[in-house]
Amino acid sequence: MSALSVQAAMTPEANALYQQACTLEYQHDTQGAVAKLLEAIKLAGDEAMLYTKLAGIYTDTDEYDKAVEAYKKVIQLRPNDAFVYISLGNIYETQSKYKDALNAYNEALQIFPEYKYNYLNIANVQYQMGKYKDAIENYNLFLSTYSQHTDARKSLANSYLADGNYENAAVEYEKLYMKNMQSFDNFSNYGLALFKTKNYEKAAEILECAIERNPENTLDHVRLALAYQELEKNELAQAQFKVVFEQNPELQSLRLDYGNLLADMGRNTEALEQYNSYKASYPNDGRVYQNLGIIYKRLKNYDMAISNFEKAVSMNAANTDAKKDLAVCYHIQKDYNNAIKYYDEVLAVDSGDYDAKLNKAIALQAVHKYEDAINLYNEVIAMRPSDIAQNNLTEAFVSQGLEDLRIHNYSKATEEFIKAISRGTKDSAAYFGLAQAYRACGVNDKASEYYEKAIAMAPDKTAYSDEFAQFISEVNAAKAQQTVTDSAEQNGQSDELDEITLSLDDDSKTSAKVVHPVVTELLQPADKTSEITSAVSKKTSEAAEITSAAITAATTGTVSSVKAADDEKAESAEKVQPVQDSEKITQQEQTAAQTPIKSTEKIPETPAAVQKTPAAETTTALETSQEINPAAELEKSKSLIAIADESYKKKKYEDSIKNYKEALKINPSDEVTLLKIGNVYKIKNDDANAINFYKKAIFVNPVYADGWFNLGLVYAGQKKVEDSKNCFNKVISINPEYAYAYYALGLAYESEKNTAEALKNYELFVKYGKDSKVVNQVKDKIKNMTK
């Protein structure tokens, strides 16, 4: 309302007093102004403008309660004035009476919804009340009209951060940062949002800026330390942790994180000190006992490791990772019964845990429970064959055969010895035991044969020769007297045994298998001291092992078969438990102290990051010659490829790679040469470079089926079943008659126990396959799977 309208509505006396009050206010005589207004109100008590002016002066002099009373009088006189409610809301907000302020702003919104700035008022109050989602909604409503309002966008970013919506928070902080880098002052929060979204490289960059502006902010040092740790910049991370503890020596909540870093760096003794310091302050945190157990296990102090793992399990009965480590420690100390107990508890949660199942089988074999061990070995081999499982299964058959022989169960003993021998055992005890079983059953010719084989395998064992001599004497005496032993009468199954024996006999003469002693210790992987990030023993993946013919012929660039998988190593890396710290460093935020678990990101079918011409390989003949003869260049490229092919045949892999790359300088879009380089890297077990060049091959030719297929093989070898399936399906979409893609898919689905899909793809391989030998093998496989 304007001054003219006021004068028109007021009595002359009241208007004069009002004008005097305005003059006194201008002269900063607020007391005098208030006195004049109160006099005017006595003359014109129903004039809203007098109360509005009075409320404004009270607000300016911080007399908020009086101002509120004055505004309430205005509302009585003018109940539809939205701006009076907004003024009242401002006062309540100043007094931190956020509920009253929100009510006042909402009243104004009902009266005048077109006033967009009121959305900002409402959002600010909701933020103060912790109603972050509501605040976010109203900040966005305001910014839809006033998109350049910096403070509103900053508040929106803070709201996203407070609500745990770190991705959107990072987006909003990025907008602010790019808009005005010089005046940007939210480095700390921006760094936190980036850290929470696992953008550690960018987070470290922003947090460095935050620390440069405020080196005393301990929280930023913490976040930077953790970001460096995620980036495996351990020395830099350690330097930041040292700053943190210099600034706040009592900050025990981070000792666990620091211990994890030291463990990653292989500084086990220092890690123990940090864990013990943390334990003194947080004795009820089971993670510290688990981490202590891992370090003691690494130091081969198994008694202390067991003590700490037991404590961790007692505090969290669902902690299967600690149970798995506990089982391993008991196993190493040859306390097999306790080891089996904890393997069982692990398998009760995850029946497909390969390591636990194999180690349990080994422990069962160690306590002479051979049949249980045999059953488990068969399950393990069905999941994924390994030399340890195969060799131990063979020896378990020998041991069980000897046990059955001892209790005179000759028929069962015979079956077990035959199985061991058919599997290629070179344990003379299997042959000697089979001889004894045949002798007991009256099958003398077979008994004689296997006595002779046992003696030939172990001529130094005189017990074999002595018993064989006794047996021969008895047989000769029996022949002379034309008698039949009781054993022969009671075991009239010689025909069947003859048939089995002949088959095995032929095999034993033609097989030349390597002797593998039985593994009586657990499957104990190498300790990886540089990869400690959690307390979870790394699970061996159950992904498909593609174990067919050789990988793509490097001299032709074509794929005709599936790559043989690398030998199973069954590694199970020790890790230290990631930290979730809840102690506050400041009164405003919790320590960002959890080290997130890293995940494997899926690679898209056509990776955008792959350049047609890699930066390191862009040099062409233009650098040395101004004129190019295309025919000559083509011949040069062919020559280089031929030289590279020859080097590959001679296993001079570095030379072959060098010449293939020289050829690429002439024709960087040659997908076949790119594939060949990938093949050489794969042979060198350099999966990263193999993947890189296979992806380059399919980038320059997206319908290059061989490139997709070989990429799928690498993923299969890395146990990335889903990624490998995507590649093989891509091959089929390009060439529906690409037989080995179906075979590879069948193996992948079989590894996932999806029998229906596995059979479907095996049958398609049989339909399109050209190699009759492999086709017949797959047909047999199909028959076995459909029994």
CATH number assigned to the domain covering 615-785: 1.25.40.10
* Mean pLDDT confidence for 134-162: 96
pLDDT digit string, tens, across residues 655-675: 999 999 999 888 777 889 999
- Model confidence at 637, in pLDDT bands (50, 70, 90)? confident
The span from the CA of 407 to the CA of 437, in Å, is 11
Three-class DSSP category at 702:
coil
Query: Does the pLDDT of residue 544 top 50, yes or no?
Result: no
Q: Which amino acid is at 239?
A: A
Query: Does the pLDDT of residue 112 top 90, yes or no?
Result: yes
Alpha carbon separation from 426 to 337, 414, 415, 458 (Å, rounded): 30, 16, 17, 10
351-355, Cβ contacts within 8 angstroms, sequence gap of 24 or more: 352/383, 352/542, 353/324, 353/539, 354/380, 354/383, 354/384, 354/539, 354/540, 354/542, 354/570, 355/324, 355/523, 355/537, 355/539, 355/540, 355/570, 355/572
609 contact partners, CB below 8 Å, separation of at least 6:
none
CATH 1.25.40.10 for the 352-510 domain, yes or no: yes
* Mean pLDDT confidence for 356-376: 97
What is residue 443's predicted lDDT score, i.e. its pLDDT? 85
The span from the CA of 67 to the CA of 57, in Å, is 8
242 contact partners, CB below 8 Å, separation of at least 6:
none
User: Mean pLDDT over all residues of the chain?
Assistant: 81
* Mean pLDDT confidence for 538-543: 26
Q: In the block, which residue shows the tokens 């994890």?
A: 260
* Mean pLDDT confidence for 243-259: 93
Query: Does the pLDDT of residue 598 top 50, yes or no?
Result: no
Is residue 485 within 8 Å of residue 442, measured between CB atoms? Answer: yes
Q: Where is average pLDDT lowest: 453-457, 521-525, 775-779?
A: 521-525
Query: Does the pLDDT of residue 546 top 70, yes or no?
Result: no
Q: Which amino acid is at 51?
A: Y
pLDDT digit string, tens, across residues 741-757: 999 999 999 999 999 99
What is residue 475's predicted lDDT score, i.e. its pLDDT? 87
More confident residue, 584 or 243: 243
**Domains 352-510 and 615-785 alike in fold:** yes
Is residue 749 within 8 Å of residue 624, measured between CB atoms? Answer: no
The span from the CA of 531 to the CA of 234, in Å, is 11
The span from the CA of 422 to the CA of 631, in Å, is 61
pLDDT digit string, tens, across residues 165-213: 999 999 999 999 999 999 999 999 999 999 999 999 999 999 999 999 9
* Mean pLDDT confidence for 716-725: 94
Largest CA distance in the chain: 155
pLDDT digit string, tens, across residues 211-224: 999 999 999 999 99
338 contact partners, CB below 8 Å, separation of at least 6:
327, 330
Rounded to the nearest 5°, which phi and psi values hold at 299?
Answer: -85, 5
Q: How many helices (H) and strands (E) does the chain have?
A: 39, 0
Domain ranges in the chain?
A: 352-510, 615-785
> Residue ranges of the alpha helices (H) in 78-214?
82-94, 98-111, 117-128, 132-143, 150-162, 166-179, 187-196, 200-213
Measuring CA to CA, which residue among 366, 309, 316 is closest to residue 521?
Answer: 366
Query: Does the pLDDT of residue 289 top 50, yes or no?
Result: yes
The span from the CA of 60 to the CA of 312, in Å, is 61
pLDDT > 70 fraction of the chain, expressed in percent and rounded: 79
Q: What is the DSSP letter of 253?
A: G
Rounded to the nearest 5°, which phi and psi values hold at 547?
Answer: -120, 50
Is residue 388 within 8 Å of residue 516, measured between CB atoms? Answer: no
374 contact partners, CB below 8 Å, separation of at least 6:
393, 396, 397, 400
**Residue 367 CB-half CA count within 13 A:** 15
